[in-house]
Amino acid sequence: MTEVLLTFHCAVRDRDVVSAAIRSRSAAPLHLTEKTVRGRDFGDASTAERVEGLLRRTAIELIVEDEAVAGLVEAVAQGRRELPVRWHATPILARGRVE
């Protein structure tokens, strides 16, 4: 089985809803990081973000088996979010712990 780094990018105000949806399907540790995105794709943006030209987002990352991705994406899609969520999965080639 292949492990992947699954990352969801959501609006800050949707962070708790998305995290809860992920938690409903996975016990993997979640890593949350606040992000500020400058760009031209404002399909996910609130009106205030469009005016500022900045998207404020939270990246939620977890490592799961690739077979779990579809179920996790489905759980997030069914959550009561206000704005769209982007996601991507990246294969893990190696990992470990250095002490």
pLDDT digits (tens, 9 = 90+) for 36-59: 877 666 666 666 565 556 778 899
On whether the CB atoms of residues 25 and 70 are closer than 8 A, the answer is no
**pLDDT tens sequence across 62-91:** 999 999 999 999 999 999 998 889 999 999
Domains and CATH numbers, the chain: 3-86 (3.30.70.120)
pTM of the predicted structure, to 2 decimals:
0.86
**pLDDT tens sequence across 4-23:** 999 999 999 999 999 999 99
| Residue given tokens 């500020």 in the structure block | 36
Total residues belonging to the chain: 99
Q: List phi, psi (to 5°) of 50.
A: -65, -40
